[in-house]
Amino acid sequence: MSILKRIPTWITSPFLFMSLIYVLWFYIVVSLEYLFGSDSAAFASLLYLPHFVRVVATWFYGYRAFFGLVAGNIFGVLITTGSLPIESNEMAIIVVGCGSVVAALWLLDWARFLKPAEIAQTDVNWRALVFLGFFASLFNAIGSALIQLDGASSSERLTFMLPILVGDTGSVLIGLILLMFGFRMVRSTMIAKAGAGQ
């Protein structure tokens, strides 16, 4: 237990959150998508929830969340498939997926549109997080296409990229909406308790 206490939260929190959401996504969302006839649900899910985790963790912990996210993604694959993603393409997809959010945050930070939460120390900028999720989805789709479709035509790459872009962006939008309502519910509960205590 003392070893775990020495590991910084910017590693353990993204790792645990990514592992948990990856497993839930794989067993619930992917199963439902296969049930309704999707043949590529495990690769290009219509609601890829781990991407939402990448976006929130990278915004909250900054660029260093990358390491915990990669480790959590690998652990999630190990739990759900029983094997490590040791092939170079599989590992590259994980690194590109997590790195895409870091690249998108760097771009938005450079444009002075969004800073990591620990630097900004301000309220949540929901619109900026949507942009972060979109650019990260775009970078992820391009990177995944370059890895998986070496030498393919432009139309093949576009066909490959579109489901990734939709699944990543959709998960961020739905996740942020749920998070926003969750924050509002917590805030209204705290206000109600404070009012009752007076």
Which pLDDT belongs to residue 165?
92
Token pair listed for 151: 């030498």
Query: Tens of pLDDT along 73-114?
Result: 999 999 998 887 777 788 999 999 999 999 999 999 898 888
* Global pTM value: 0.84
Which pLDDT belongs to residue 47?
87
The 3-state DSSP class for residue 82 equals coil
Query: Tens of pLDDT along 57-84?
Result: 998 888 889 999 999 999 999 999 888 7
> Which residues are within 8 A (CB) of 121 and not within 5 positions of it... i.e. 6 or more apart?
none
What is the rounded radius of gyration, in angstroms, for the C-alpha atoms of the chain? Answer: 18
> Which residues are within 8 A (CB) of 172 and not within 5 positions of it... i.e. 6 or more apart?
51, 52, 55, 129, 130, 133, 134, 136, 137
CB 98 within 8 A of CB 136: no
Q: What is the largest CA-CA distance in the chain?
A: 69
Query: Tens of pLDDT along 111-151?
Result: 888 877 766 656 778 888 899 999 999 999 999 988 888 77
Which pLDDT belongs to residue 1?
45
Cα 121 to Cα 54: distance, rounded to the nearest angstrom: 20
Query: Tens of pLDDT along 14-29?
Result: 889 999 999 999 999 8
Query: Tens of pLDDT along 170-186?
Result: 999 999 999 888 878 88
Of 16-30, 35-49, 153-167, the poorest mean pLDDT is in 35-49
